[in-house]
Amino acid sequence: MTTSEDQMPEVTEEHIERLKENMEKVETLSKRLVEVMASKKPHTSALDGPNQELFARAATVYFAEAWQNPAKLLEQQIEYWGKSVLNFAEAQQALTIGEVDDEHDMPADKRFSNPMWDTNPYFRLIRQQYQTNAQAITQAVASVDDLDAKDKRRLSYFSQQIIDMMAPTNFLATNPDALQKAVETEGQSLINGLENLVSDLEANDGELVVKLADENAFEVGGNLATTPGDVIYRNRMMELIQYKPATETVHETPIVLFPPWINKFYILDLKAQNSLIKWITEQGYTLFVVSWVNPNPSYAETGMEDYIQDGFLAAIEVAKQICKVKQVNAIGYCIAGTTLSLTLALMKQRGDKSIKSATLFTALTDFSEQGEFTPFLQNDFIDGIEEEVTKEGVLRSWIMGRTMSFLRSRDLVYGPAIRSYMMGEVPPAFDLLFWNGDGANLPAKMAVDYLRGLCQRNEFASDGIELLGHKLTLADVDVPLMAITCETDHIAAWKDCYRGVQKMGSRSKTFVVSESGHIAGIVNPPSKKKYGHYTNPDLKSDADTWLKEADFHEGSWWPIWEAWLKKRSGKQVPARETGDSTHPSLAPAPGTYVVANPNI
């Protein structure tokens, strides 16, 4: 038994007066809020939620099943009523006797870590009833049987979004942390929070995009992306950076690394301690990295062909010219790994042997299973995206960023919003979150090509995808390759990556599963001795069997990859300076494209 002692700070008349003074400051901020919302740039409403037909179908099925089996519905309702009445009765008892019965276990949830959720009858009732409601909704969705598997998955996802959105921690009147801080600071935390809210809205043309990191703490090229190098080539699609050597000799075969163009390349060069780019140069390799353009509406007709022709093929050719070699080793990360696979298939059909080996980081090539993106890859959302990009010329970066964030909404949406807008806190100085918020637009044609042809129709892994006059299939990918995937990756699930690699035509294939997720599993330097990895040379079995029979290794996968790459990188030659007479330095790394504002 615990007593519900008053845990709020003592409130004096002086506190109340200062609180009133602070509240008057809200008027000025409210005017700014109205102004920014009035000037908000509209976007396609279909991007804000699923077509209502989904809920209509679910409701029809639910009530049809209830009609056929009313006992099932009654059982669920009676259980819900019983728990609700018990919650209320316990709260009444606690208020009467001044004590809270803490013998009833409630599900662990870090959102409710404040002791008042357990000891204060008011907050305890709110928490209990919220969790009772959440359980009832989850059970109701789970009981809908006669529904298409994709619709069932979408219904489950969006119902969970509603549950998370309605959490009492998201509202000032039912958040003890925010209320306590408001009283302690005499309302200043709320003033600061409203200032943060208005500033975020103003920074995004009225769209609410929660700032995750303190932007004033970082500068690309200042304390991020600082590995020395030069931009030695530039076209409308990319800047090609050649990094300065860190050893006296280097392997003859250079590396060309293609990062995703949804985010910026410097995730691989955040700081010296975890920079893959710096580490590669220290192992004795000549490294080229593509920095993609952040497209504006003039790129509306830019498609996957342009990324291949003016990105992948152009970068490979320039690296060959500068290093005076016939082949390079290529790396593709995420969507760039998907596109590198398309490029390999194209080069196979053209008889072009410029790539000696390929490394894929978290790259999907078989989209027969859409994983956690299933809710967003159905026609209602894709139709909405197509309508949006037709009007705008690009898929604006905040739309893609918002979609990614809502896959982890508690950590990337609601938690940061509470700290910023209700608690009035400055976002943390966290480089990874800064990078996460530094997104890029996607050209209209490219976005639709990718979503329709690859994600929805899965053409590359099935009958083939038409690109640049060729029909490309996974079987065309036949160079030696290593695929690095991540065990808890929610963007490119490792089992889905595995299925694509199995279908590739390469006779030499190495598959690795790193612990952790899409970013931490890749940006995993050996010095941290943090996440381990799994290997298994047998790629004939299904994914579950592969993992069950795999060997686990402590620490980063970087060293085993480098050992694999070394065998395919030729003899040692004198270290190369950046560029040559026909490819002079155009700018120091990290270049100009990575910091350019496409809206200017």
Pick from 516, 550, 509: which is nearest to 532 by CA?
A: 516
**360 and 483 fall within a common domain:** yes
SS (H, E, C) 115-146: CHHHHCHHHHHHHHHHHHHHHHHHHHHHCCCC
415 lies in a domain? Answer: no
Tell me which DSSP letter residue 430 carries.
-
**327 and 435 fall within a common domain:** yes
**427 and 331 fall within a common domain:** yes
Predicted local confidence at residue 6, as pLDDT: 46
Distance CA 197, CA 499 (A): 44
Distance CA 112, CA 88 (A): 19
3-state secondary structure (DSSP) of residue 389: helix
381 lies in a domain? Answer: no
133 lies in a domain? Answer: yes
What the block records as the tokens of 438 is: 């530094």
- Segment-wise mean pLDDT, segments of 10 residues, the chain, 600 residues: 48 69 72 79 72 61 54 58 65 66 68 91 89 88 80 86 91 93 87 90 84 93 97 98 98 98 96 96 98 97 98 98 98 98 98 98 94 84 92 92 85 92 93 92 96 95 96 97 96 96 97 96 93 97 97 97 98 97 97 87
**143 and 282 fall within a common domain:** no
What the block records as the tokens of 286 is: 């000549």
Distance CA 336, CA 343 (A): 10
Q: What is the CATH number of the domain that holds 483?
A: 3.40.50.1820
Which amino acid would we find at residue 135?
Answer: Q
Look up 323 and say whether it is catalytic.
Answer: no
**154 and 233 fall within a common domain:** no
Which amino acid would we find at residue 429?
Answer: A
Strand partners, 512: 484, 535
CA-to-CA dists, residue 193 to 266, 316, 421, 554, angstroms: 30, 49, 4, 44
Distance CA 36, CA 201 (A): 7
CA-to-CA dists, residue 448 to 72, 221, 334, 445, 568, angstroms: 44, 33, 17, 5, 36
In the block, residue with structure tokens 């969790």: 131
195 lies in a domain? Answer: no
444 contacts 392 by C-beta, under 8 angstroms: yes
Distance CA 255, CA 355 (A): 10
Predicted local confidence at residue 5, as pLDDT: 44
Q: Which among 127, 150, 171 is the end of a domain?
A: 171
140 lies in a domain? Answer: yes
**158 and 31 fall within a common domain:** yes
149 lies in a domain? Answer: yes
Burial class (CB in 10 A: 0-12, 13-18, 19+), 261: buried
What the block records as the tokens of 8 is: 């709020």
Helical (H) or strand (E) element with 59: helix 52-68
Predicted local confidence at residue 405, as pLDDT: 85
3-state secondary structure (DSSP) of residue 503: helix
The angle, 0 to 180 degrees and rounded to 10, between the axes of the packed helices 188-203 and 26-38 is: 20
Its domain, for residue 159, covers 2-42+50-171
Distance CA 340, CA 312 (A): 7
**253 and 353 fall within a common domain:** yes
**239 and 158 fall within a common domain:** no
pTM of the model: 0.88
**8 and 115 fall within a common domain:** yes
What the block records as the tokens of 77 is: 């309702």
Distance CA 256, CA 312 (A): 9
431 contacts 271 by C-beta, under 8 angstroms: yes
The catalytic residue among 334, 455, 486, 497 is 334
**236 and 167 fall within a common domain:** no
Cis peptide bond prior to 590, omega within 30° of 0: yes
**147 and 293 fall within a common domain:** no
16 lies in a domain? Answer: yes
Strand 470-472 to 551-553 pairing: unpaired
User: Per the structure, how many domains does the chain have?
Assistant: 2
Pick from 345, 330, 201, 307: which is nearest to 255 by CA?
A: 330
**132 and 271 fall within a common domain:** no
Q: Which residues contact 316 (CB under 8 A, 6 or more apart)?
A: 256, 328, 330, 354, 355
Strand partners, 442: 395
